[in-house]
Structure 1
């Protein structure tokens, strides 16, 4: 059964209904019809977990709701700009960029929160588990200068190397190195893919490495990583980027929608607001893409066919 309440479909709707009956239920909301559906534009971040969210959302929007969906990969800053200017409808994974929220959500009001993704993210510095097991002190930042020799390269001028991937990713590492007086050099490899290759190649030979990384990430199941404890985060410790001397804040990853789309996007907007999963689900799709070499479309289709019980809740807004 379904009910209409205040012009919208009830949050307590069918899970079992599919096919023609499913479309009938959706049309009863009074928000969409085949003639009214506008194309949906999604922003895909430059990391695999974010691409996994977008791929699954695109698949269900197209296959179950009949929308035409375009996806464009962008940096976080460019994604926010596209949302704010109405050139994109939604981004499904934001790691906390307060300056963007202040501009587009609070001041210009062209972007609105879309709810939590369901995943808690953590950025930090990591070494391989086999190295931490042999050198237990290495997982505290105060001891890193004792281990510079392990992390030197021919190009690092005698300093240890902290690897990073894409320079557009959220980072305060240059300030941390300077303000904590660490004898290290920040080296950008250019992308998550290049960073993954470095991690996996060095891990195969059990060589040392120190890297900026984030969790959740599917590679943790393949390469054991140990986090280096940075100075504890507290509110405001990173307010001035150049003076930051603390670790990263844990972030409840959020979705954001263009404000016009959030109001007028019908079932597509409602579906994206309902989209919520955990790190196990995200990692499963991300591994299929980056670890197993599947296309995002193929990975999304495989996951969706095996997990109807999860995504039907997003589609129909079933109450717990």
Structure 2
């Protein structure tokens, strides 16, 4: 695991007018996990800087999205700031059921993750956004590597999401090809969009992409928990995942050791909240405007001191 240390001095310029700070109970490092998409880096850096301002020792640790739960259970990792209802709910519920991981509440953001296509594809694939229409014209989405199957460009494998399972369960004439990174996913979208080339891929919100590009999410059979857990439910009575992805909150989780060792930090993590619009703007500032995560998070903290100062007030 790669560890990134963030000292309280780095946020020394951020004052907290009129707020009494809770004293840091321990100088043992609080380890916050970092993943491979910009929004999660922003969310985690915001939390880390606020905790650092309150006097806590913060470390950023690179970890896989789903695999991180093993470290959270053992206490080797402490805080994960973005568990998406769309892709992480099962792993989160399994971990919290052990009592070793605690759901720290919603982040304030609502998650959408689904197959998405540019509007110009409706000219060559009538009937979209219905998934059956997508399947009928799978060849329009083929690449030399996947032909005659259509290609669906998924997120990095570590994101989960059950796309391979869904393609099989719904009998879709598509091959799932996973992008190596978040940046590669959107670089390919930009290239295809400029050329009006065929593409269907994983898009998520909060993010700048659904605003920048004209297009639509594919409409699959409606999600239900039973569809994911009971193969007899849905169109395919022998396989699960024959439906769309869930939508819902983005959650925060922590090792149970956090409240025991750093109760003030635990309260701050529970209080953390940022909305979709603010997050979309920050991600766009990094990905489109070339600003650093530090620049963007410092600007948000400076503009929203009245909000975040309450997270760490005694």
**TM-score interval w.r.t. the shorter chain?**
0.7 to 0.9
Cα distance in 2 for partners of 1:244, 1:145 equals 16
* Cross-structure match for 2:177: 187
1:162 maps to 152
- Residue 98 (structure 1) shift: 4.7
What is the root-mean-square deviation of aligned Cα atoms in Å?
2.2
For 1:53-132, what aligned pairs fall within 5 Å after superposition? 53-62=43-52, 64-96=53-85, 97-107=88-98, 109-132=99-122
Q: Between Structure 1 and Structure 2, how many residues are aligned?
A: 291
Shift of residue 278 of structure 1?
A: 0.8
Provide the C-alpha distance between the structure 2 equivalents of 1:136 and 1:48, rounded to a whole number of angstroms: 34
Asked if structure 2 preserves the Cα contact closer than 8 Å seen for 1:127 and 1:226, the reply is yes
Deviations 1:288-316 (A, max 9, x none): 22222222222211221122233234333
Shift of 1:49: 1.5
Whether the aligned pair in 2 keeps the contact of 1:120 and 1:252 (CA below 8 Å) is yes
Which deviations, in whole Å up to 9, do the C-alpha atoms of 1:53-90 show, x marking residues without a partner? 0011122222x312221112221222211211111211
Which stretch of the first structure deviates more once superposed, 203-212 or 91-100?
91-100
Q: Hey, what's the Cα distance between the residues in 2 that align with 1:187 and 1:43?
A: 26
- Rg (Cα) greater in structure: 1
Preserved CA contact (<8 Å) 2:154 2:163:
no
When structure 1 is superposed on structure 2, of 296-305 and 98-107 the one drifting more is 98-107
Q: How far did 1:150 drift?
A: 2.1
Secondary structure of residue in 1 paired with 2:229: coil
Q: Distance in 2 between matches of 1:56 and 1:161?
A: 36
Query: What is the DSSP-based 3-state SS (H/G/I as helix, E as strand, rest coil) of the residue aligned with 2:138?
Result: helix
Q: Distance in 2 between matches of 1:222 and 1:102?
A: 34
- CA distance in structure 2 between the partners assigned to 1:225 and 1:73 by the alignment: 33
Shift in Å, 1:130: 3.1
1:274 aligns with 2:271: yes
Question: Is the 8 Å Cα contact of residues 276 and 314 (structure 1) preserved in structure 2?
Answer: no
Partner of 1:302: 299
Alignment of 1:246-285 (within 5 A): 246-285=243-282
Alpha-carbon separation, structure 2, partners of 1:292 and 1:89: 32
How far apart in 2 are the matches of 1:262 and 1:306? 29
- C-alpha displacement of 1:102: 4.5
Counterparts in 2 of 1:191-202, with a 5 A limit? 191-202=181-192
Q: 2:35 aligns with which of 32, 39, 45?
A: 45
Detail structure 1 runs of 4+ shifted over 6 Å in the superposition. none
Structure 1: 5+ residue stretches without partners: 1-16
Asked whether the equivalents of residues 265 and 312 of structure 2 are also in contact (C-alpha less than 8 Å), the reply is: no
Give secondary structure in 2 for the equivalent of 1:168: helix
Task: Supply the distance in 1 between the matched residues of 2:180 and 2:76 (Cα, whole angstroms).
Answer: 26
| Deviation of the 1:280 alpha carbon | 0.9
TM-score with structure 1 length normalisation? 0.83
* Superposed CA offset, 1:155-178 (max 9, x none): 113111100120111222112212
Long gaps (5+) in structure 2: 1-14, 232-238
Q: Distance in 2 between matches of 1:120 and 1:135?
A: 30
Matches of 1:18 and 1:157, distance apart in 2: 59
Shift of 1:240: 5.4
